[in-house]
Amino acid sequence: MLNPIEELHSYEKWSINALIAVILLIFFGLGLHWIEIDNPLSNSLFEYFIDPIRGESTGDSGYNPVNTMTYAIVLGLFVISISAWLRGLGIDPSDASVIALLPFITWAAFGEVVEDAEMFGSRLTPYFVSPGIHFQAAFWVILAGALALSNDKLKGEDQESRESLELVAALLVFSQFALYGTSISGSKTVETLEINLFPMIISTAFAMFFIRLSRESTGGFTPVQRMVYLVGIGGSMIFLGALISYALEKPPDAERIWPLVVVIGVPAAVSYWMYSYGREAVEELASHDLVAGILPPGITDDEYRKSDFPEKEIIEPLRFRAIMAQPLVFLAVAGQIMDGLATWIGIDGFPGLGEKHIVSQRVIDAGIWVNEELGITNGYLDEGVWLFAIVKICLAALIFYVFYSLNFEKRELHLRLLIGVAMLVVGMAPGLRDVGRLTLSV
């Protein structure tokens, strides 16, 4: 008989089956196209998904209602399915995993800006637009985690195991440099502008050096978390170095620097305030081996809400502050604020930029309607994007409320982790990309 923690929820089984069905439909549609059999499935696949991805890799093709809805549904299926898979593998679902995955948010954002600057060769360009960029990031996460999880020489806490892990991490970072650096150096943009890629080489060397320097700061990570974290940092530094190389060749206008400070600085300040406000509450609960929002073993949510457990008397007075200080929460909140600010400043402050996402554009259109009704003509309000920023702030508050109000049982901790990471990805990644594009004028 399976351990109750390992048993699948019914919604997990349904999500896994639905995801398998989606994957089979994709391969079936592609197969029919390759053997040149005309059919509605293949035609729809290319019209709504593949052609927009191709268009995005050569410009800004935007999204359509079909692929927007499909991506949202598939993201939900992935979150639920992968959470069950991670639980079965015994991956640590604590907030340390959020920190370990954070570099891959910057990895995706920096990679997309490099693509926006047309610094990749033609073969790699299509893989750096959504959703391909996220599958590519997932590949490196899974590869790094799998190597750390499956190799006994990397699992230990002794000096030899740590050094072996660092060596493998360095090899994975170098593999990224060889793959992406070669494509960047041979791209038409780099050759035409004669961009000096020495900064990218320096940043990659620093990433290699950081692998050894970070041994003490990552001491609290599991081997899987440490491997993923180091590989993500390395990849992010490669792309950041490429962007610095581009910026040195084509320095951004002075007026485009302040949005970078605001878009990153305000969410960072919010994160710091939330963490500082709740840190003592987290420490108090930790002294009792408790975490706000996570139920003690053997207690269900219904039992917790209907009964007076000793743990409940400790958790509830500290719950509000403790939830604020959880990285999963304050980073997801900061990500939504970042996206809202980047979009608002980019579109309202710098004419010529626009929104590509269908739902976001609907919100902006509503803001324009309000402006017309109220006669608002202010330069930073007249495009209606202020309403999008407000919606994003409200979404940030909703994310906090959800984690504040919900209790997760032990076998739901991986689902909690992936919900938070998904909210972080859909906020921080586009926010960083938008402000990066704005700063570099690409």
Annotate the chain with three-state secondary structure.
CCCCCCCCCHHHHHHHHHHHHHHHHHHHHHHHHHCCCCCHHHHHHHHHHHHHHHHHHHCCCCCCHHHHHHHHHHHHHHHHHHHHHHHHHCCCCCHHHHHHHHHHHHHHHHHHHHHHCCCCCCCCHHHHCCCHHHHHHHHHHHHHHHHHHHCHHHCCCCHHHHHHHHHHHHHHHHHHHHHHHHHHHCCHHHHHHCCCCHHHHHHHHHHHHHHHHCCCCCCCCCHHHHHHHHHHHHHHHHHHHHHHHHHHHCCCCHHHCHHHHHHHHHHHHHHHHHHHHHHHHHHHHHCCCCECCECCCCCCHHHHHHCCCHHHHHHHHHHHHHHHCCHHHHHHHHHHHHHHHHHHHHHHHCCCCCCCCHHHHHHHHHHHHHHHHHCCCCCCCCCCHHHHHHHHHHHHHHHHHHHHHCCECHHHHHHHHHHHHHHHHHHHHHHHHHHHHHHHCC
How confident is residue 3, by pLDDT bands cut at 50, 70 and 90?
very low
Residue 158 has pLDDT above 50, yes or no: yes
Residue 62 has pLDDT above 70, yes or no: no
How confident is residue 347, by pLDDT bands cut at 50, 70 and 90?
confident
Longest dimension (CA), the chain: 70
Q: Tell me what pLDDT residue 285 has.
A: 94
Mean confidence (pLDDT) of the chain: 87
Q: Which residue has the higher pLDDT, 351 or 262?
A: 262
How confident is residue 441, by pLDDT bands cut at 50, 70 and 90?
confident
How confident is residue 252, by pLDDT bands cut at 50, 70 and 90?
confident
Q: Tell me what pLDDT residue 59 has.
A: 55
How confident is residue 86, by pLDDT bands cut at 50, 70 and 90?
confident
> Residue 291's beta-bridge partner residues?
294
Residue 360 has pLDDT above 50, yes or no: yes
Q: Tell me what pLDDT residue 271 has.
A: 96
Q: Tell me what pLDDT residue 60 has.
A: 56
Residue 34 has pLDDT above 50, yes or no: yes
Give the mean pLDDT of 79-87: 87
Residue 337 has pLDDT above 60, yes or no: yes
What are the residues whose beta carbons fall under 8 Å from the beta carbon of 272, sequence distance 6 or more? none
Rounded to 5°, the CA angle 252-260-206 comes to 80
Give the mean pLDDT of 16-34: 89
27-45 burial, b for 16+ CB within 10 Å, e for fewer?
Answer: eebeebbeeeeeeebbeeb
Q: Tell me what pLDDT residue 161 has.
A: 83
Give the mean pLDDT of 278-288: 93
Q: Tell me what pLDDT residue 236 has.
A: 96
Q: How far apart are CA 401 and CA 94, in angstroms?
A: 19
